[in-house]
Amino acid sequence: MALRRHWLVAMLALVGCDLDLSTSATTITATGQTNGVTSVVICAGPSQGLGCNDQESFDVTFGSDEESATEGLLSFGSLEADFSSVAAAPLTVTRASDGATASVVSEPFDLTGPASTDVIQRGATIELAWTPSGGDRASWTGNVLCGETDYTPDQPFDIDDTGTATIHTDDLPQGPAGTCTATVGISRSHDGTLDSAFPASSTFVAEQDRVISFQLAE
């Protein structure tokens, strides 16, 4: 995600790393979330160091809805548009300065697994299933919440988009002894298309995220 990149760059700058992170590329991500919101984040190029190019503006059309992308708090120049839908509808980003467009259709999916009240012992496996499947990049990740402390993973695990996955609970972050709430999510993504007016290194990634929760006995 563009915003994560800028937070990483800011942290490296604070510790004295001298990095050349200028780029002419524009990066766009469209994420359909479990809460039913599709969030579109745009980092326009050319960018320099911590920030995106804040001189560009974009309009985003999702199905029959249209919004102008706006800059959020501490966004380092990235722009965002949110839609209250995760439908399989065409999503088009249009650059105001020249009408260049980027487009994608992101297919939602349903995820099933243990119920939120199920108690799973550490060391056991769980089975996840999702539909539709096939053709996308896929990964899973999980966190463990014990009281007010959230134990998060170092990185996601890549998997095949077959529609099923066996998750070993030993691969979840380790919490203290007792029963905690584990949340496991599947992400599926693919690339959209961009006009040739965008630099060749520009990207448009559409992602759909879904999560389930259960009780993990440490």
What's the N-to-C CA distance of the chain in angstroms?
32
The pLDDT score that the predictor gives to residue 70 is 94
Choose which CATH entry (2.160.20, 1.20.1050, 1.10.1760, 2.60.40) describes domain 2-105: 2.60.40
Full DSSP string of 113-160 = -S-TT-EEETT-EEEEEEES-SSSEEEEEEEEEETTEEE--SS-EEE-
Provide the residue ranges of all domains of the chain, joining segments of one domain with +: 2-105, 110-189+210-217
Q: For residue 20, what pLDDT is reported? A: 42
- pLDDT value of residue 8: 42
The per-residue pLDDT for range 77-113, each reduced to its tens digit, is: 899 999 999 999 999 999 999 999 999 998 999 999 9
Task: Dig out the tokens for 119 from the structure.
Answer: 């108690």
What is the reported pLDDT for 74? 66
Closest CA to 83 of 99, 59, 111, 100: 59
Do domains 2-105 and 110-189+210-217 share one topology? The answer is yes
Q: Which amino acid is at 188?
A: R
Do residues 145 and 183 make contact, with C-beta atoms less than 8 angstroms apart?
A: yes
> Residue 51: what pLDDT?
80
User: Which residue numbers in the chain have pLDDT < 70?
Assistant: 1-22, 48-50, 74
Rounded Cα gap, residues 143 and 199, in angstroms = 37
- Per-residue pLDDT tens for 44-71? 988 766 689 888 999 999 999 999 999 9
- CATH 1.10.3210 holds for 110-189+210-217: no
